[in-house]
Structure 1
């Protein structure tokens, strides 16, 4: 959790007692243990908050929320506050209560992989000191079901998709009761596409199958809370609190207006921009961005949210072109070091835009960066080396990077007009507790959009609606399939009853006007039966027949692998065909099977590159292209511009092209060189790699459920690992540590830290001296994360050994029992023979 949320709170906001004076509270629920004076937790927790986070005092709302009666009674809770209000600290204290007082496991669901890794990184220190395990469930990481621990409790930190798979595995193994608490960050994501549908399924299953698991959801942007309360059977707590006041402004031409809800049109005049523009500068910067940023940088930080990735780069370049040379001297040495780091990451290459902008303390931040680049830029911004980031909307919902001033370049995300939720997320980044006494947001508006913006600032937040119906194969059908597979509901009536307890069930009259919920259930089940994923079984009992639903082997593989049902049959056919002649000379054929289907539609092959790559394949590898339906003649004709008479499946063509990219990545392990070879952005290549690692993991789970695919298990296990890290083999153990990416792993390896054990036993002070550009805080977190990972692996091995010994004792006991039976049933003259045997 970012330090800005809590540290050095100003007196007017620090109304709760200091951590050292918080008195014992009553036990959390009937079976909990009150083990200390800090909200039922030991004093060591408050000491760790002070040491690791710099937190001296809780906000008054945090104290009030933690002592709510509904939490004492273990009821579900939704709480909502503006961004940077300190919501996560409350969640973390509740998590520690569950782990230490209730002695139950906890699941924390976060929206993005980067945030999961950041949270694993941040909470590992607490786990080491307080004796619980922190396990990462993101991308291709995570065990299903998780290892059942006897001695230590686990905090599972998961993305939405991995959280769903984890809950499924716990229900299947009858262990859902081990989960005492589920915390959901960004609860409003229930209303966002397929990820919202997945989150809804997860929460509905927990509510339906476990009476002992309680749910806490938090968000900065909630509107129709009544529906969410009804769905989650939850209490609601809200405060309009921010530790730093946020002032909202709108800029039209050279006039700045303050957002005022009491004003007739929503705005009141604030000031005119006082900045002298030359004629050249007016043409280059008609929106006065330079005037707005130079009012705060380099002394303070600033974020500029731009509609597109290209616009981010253009804005960063334009600003630097007209900044004074004095900006270059601010923290010059550290900026030179950052450029060196980025060159090392790019294997000697650096983006020309970043090379131009970083000396001025300016950079861009969007999905076109590699993971390593993004990490370096975020760290430099957090340290104040960079004072201005031009970024896309994804940063608003991603890692915690606050600013003194937030500028919205236009009221658009790509070509779509800004939603109120998005607007609130972006402007919520303004203001840093303990650093700034105020935060400002400025939305740049063209005259034509003035009325739309008036509606935007005065309108309420958007409602949150179920996505089970719009996302049919990833939502409704996926849910129905897993309900039968997990035996939560095995008749049409039971399935309907479950659906009544979902958010869709709460909103059914609003969302499904043409068909009733029971008709939707009937249609969905019939569709699954037609696809061969479910079958009907008639059970005779007491002269009565009962029609039940049974999942097929293919159906079980689909939900266990979390495969989109629209691709399920295609994946099965391709894997089956692969068995007829799997080419194992290299990983090329296997890579094709692990190339994600959902990236195919966004692929536009360069045919000359395609042909060149094909010609570089061995004869055996070239047969793979024929097997998947992309003959050499087709590629050659496309490259030469000839007409194609015989049609070839475009999805297979595009998928094979993506496979070429992945194949080059595994051979070269350098995103920069591969992106140049294929003339693609390095961010696109990075995204493909991440998606392929995750999909390979899903295909592995799919194959584990189908006996005929046994050969794929070992192959996909290794492939998934290589795709996950995509580095030299010797770096993989270091890359497993949360927060350690390739550049950092290389530094550690070259410094002599070559194994997880070496890193876990490292002295943070020695690391700071040995590793360039590593802060003391980062060094401590790396060591804590390595210790946590090592502890988790050791615990897993110990559990396996004890289970094995237990099994051997049981078998030994059964063997002795069989001997006794044998002696009691055979004639005496046979005894000698039995003893000899």
Structure 2
């Protein structure tokens, strides 16, 4: 049958090239060394040919502030066209954005002035009146920075402003090169580094690939700025082929092969050693095994990984006779393995999580959410945490006696934090991971109480984007821990508690706003507007009149109003159906349930 289909398509279908529909955008690659700009040319002896000298009048102050001539490079394209400047670090992004704006003429302020004022107003509205001082100075010039320190709402708003031409310049980190569709006429790489690491060929190609917009521009340009000391490495960078692509399974067996095996057995796709090995042979890792595996064979790695999962108590091994002489090694998932599989818990942490939850049962402090928050703070964020000890000590002193009891149960005392804050030597050993995890728990706890990313960011001296990512990670991990506990009878007490906590971490608003935020398209700012206008429940919102909603709520379009009301009605309907199903389940009698027996009194009345 497959051969017939192939034959049919070969005879009847003419291959169509996408080039017929999507015009090619020429990408010109340039290098900049001092005042000279060179074009990348694979036919040239060194891979580059001289193009031009940079023509821009620099004052002494500008030379000192802008040794890379970024102002000259960006003003050749903005504000008519868009431009991206990739910087090595987040702090560098902010500094470069401010520096460029200091030397832009006041004419740039007039370009789409009203639209830029709206961007600033919207940034303030979504942040409870707060506005980043850097963005306050740069957005009026059509310039903004873009990195993980921004909240997701800020990023979305700035990206929309850039895509619509309101903002013409982004200073950004390498993360913008992947996953975000923000093309530009010119892309500038301020240095051939990401943080302290020299660029890889695939990173370079990913960044310069932002240049050129199909259907908008006919050409795109990239300029890599480098110093004399990096010349040889840069020439090698532009001439060498792309790095080979290898299976990720080879890098981290804990997160890769072992997790894959647990899923295969949990889903009953492959449950015996032979089938699992055959499955691995068909993966990308299996295809590359001759290149990737030097010391061990794929069979040995398969056996070792399954042995590890068995030793960890996630799998059980069973030898089954297939004939009088042959036996087959079958695997079954254990309760702990199923809990880890259903909760998608990283196998590096599943036994630690089990131990922490078990220990928590011995004395769970429920006078506040702090103890539960600690148990759902993601393990993978702990190694990156670097506590500010003075802040830690200050926050510790503000805890209630019950909350301090949580720290005490974890083995962390006020005197320990005090000594760390004052820089004293500490003889007693304390688990660093527990200390760091409790610090992150303090951040999340403060966020649940204040529900304001800005104030918590200032209190803990952390980027607001990092705090939002911590909150998102905690909400996700809390849901994972909930599914983990649902599979283990001994953790029944956590189930109801974690449902409530997961909801709080997901929305991170005052309790009365949570029902409104369950509606599609309603974020915190909009929920506050609706609540203030009298729409205090899902029913109120479902029965709202779109025209009244538009007049009552600022900056709400008719389309958005109808969408919110429609979503509220659908959500209300789903909840009503769920409740009806529960009622039907309760009223449904089993087939062998005895019918009602008439009492003597009832017989007399009948």
Unaligned runs of 5+ in 1: 1-28, 31-67, 74-78, 86-237, 820-829
Matched with 1:680 is 462
On the 8 A contact 1:738/1:782 being kept in 2, the answer is no
Aligned equivalents of 1:764, 1:300: Cα separation in 2: 39
More displaced 10-residue stretch of structure 1: 301-310 or 247-256: 247-256
Matched with 1:352 is 133
Instruction: Give the direction of change, closer, same or farther, for the CA distance of 1:770–1:260 in structure 2 (3 Å limit).
Output: farther
Matched with 1:301 is 82
SS in 2 for 1:389: strand
Task: After TM superposition, give the deviation of residue 461 of structure 1 in Å.
Answer: 2.8
Structure 1 residue 471 and structure 2 residue 252: aligned?
A: yes
On the 8 A contact 2:519/2:571 being kept in 1, the answer is no
On the 8 A contact 1:304/1:390 being kept in 2, the answer is yes
More displaced 10-residue stretch of structure 1: 381-390 or 715-724: 381-390
2:72 to 283, 291, 295: 291
Q: CA RMSD in A?
A: 3.6
Instruction: Give the direction of change, closer, same or farther, for the CA distance of 1:254–1:765 in structure 2 (3 Å limit).
Output: farther
SS in 1 for 2:383: helix
Task: After TM superposition, give the deviation of residue 571 of structure 1 in Å.
Answer: 0.7
Matched with 1:742 is 524
TM value normalised by structure 2 = 0.88
SS in 2 for 1:722: helix
1:555 to 334, 337, 341: 337
On the 8 A contact 1:760/1:784 being kept in 2, the answer is no
Instruction: Give the direction of change, closer, same or farther, for the CA distance of 1:733–1:258 in structure 2 (3 Å limit).
Output: farther
2:451 to 669, 673, 677: 669
Unaligned runs of 5+ in 2: none
Task: After TM superposition, give the deviation of residue 481 of structure 1 in Å.
Answer: 1.8
SS in 2 for 1:304: strand
On the 8 A contact 2:546/2:565 being kept in 1, the answer is no
Task: After TM superposition, give the deviation of residue 549 of structure 1 in Å.
Answer: 1.4
Instruction: Give the direction of change, closer, same or farther, for the CA distance of 1:541–1:253 in structure 2 (3 Å limit).
Output: closer
Q: Deviations over 1:754-811 (max 9, x none)?
A: 556776787888877765556x6xx6468547746864774686588679869988x6
Q: Deviations over 1:610-641 (max 9, x none)?
A: 22212222212211111112122322322333
2:485 to 696, 703, 706: 703
Q: Deviations over 1:230-289 (max 9, x none)?
A: xxxxxxxx9996553333322222222333334343333333222111122111111111
Within 5 Å, give how 1:102-121 maps onto structure 2: none
Within 5 Å, give how 1:312-323 maps onto structure 2: 312-323=93-104
Matched with 1:385 is 166
Structure 1 residue 590 and structure 2 residue 397: aligned?
A: no
Aligned equivalents of 1:513, 1:558: Cα separation in 2: 31
More displaced 10-residue stretch of structure 1: 658-667 or 500-509: 500-509
Matched with 2:346 is 564
On the 8 A contact 2:539/2:572 being kept in 1, the answer is no
Instruction: Give the direction of change, closer, same or farther, for the CA distance of 1:782–1:601 in structure 2 (3 Å limit).
Output: farther
Aligned equivalents of 1:565, 1:707: Cα separation in 2: 20
Instruction: Give the direction of change, closer, same or farther, for the CA distance of 1:761–1:451 in structure 2 (3 Å limit).
Output: farther
Aligned equivalents of 1:767, 1:331: Cα separation in 2: 30
Aligned equivalents of 1:768, 1:452: Cα separation in 2: 59
Aligned equivalents of 1:465, 1:695: Cα separation in 2: 29
Instruction: Give the direction of change, closer, same or farther, for the CA distance of 1:792–1:325 in structure 2 (3 Å limit).
Output: same
SS in 2 for 1:468: helix
Within 5 Å, give how 1:427-442 maps onto structure 2: 427-442=208-223
Within 5 Å, give how 1:499-538 maps onto structure 2: 499-538=280-319
SS in 2 for 1:364: strand
Matched with 1:272 is 53
More displaced 10-residue stretch of structure 1: 404-413 or 241-250: 241-250
SS in 1 for 2:247: coil
Matched with 2:388 is 606
Aligned equivalents of 2:155, 2:531: Cα separation in 1: 21
TM value normalised by structure 1 = 0.65
Task: After TM superposition, give the deviation of residue 700 of structure 1 in Å.
Answer: 0.9
Task: After TM superposition, give the deviation of residue 437 of structure 1 in Å.
Answer: 3.4
Structure 1 residue 620 and structure 2 residue 410: aligned?
A: no
Task: After TM superposition, give the deviation of residue 378 of structure 1 in Å.
Answer: 2.0
Task: After TM superposition, give the deviation of residue 504 of structure 1 in Å.
Answer: 0.8
Aligned equivalents of 1:305, 1:671: Cα separation in 2: 27
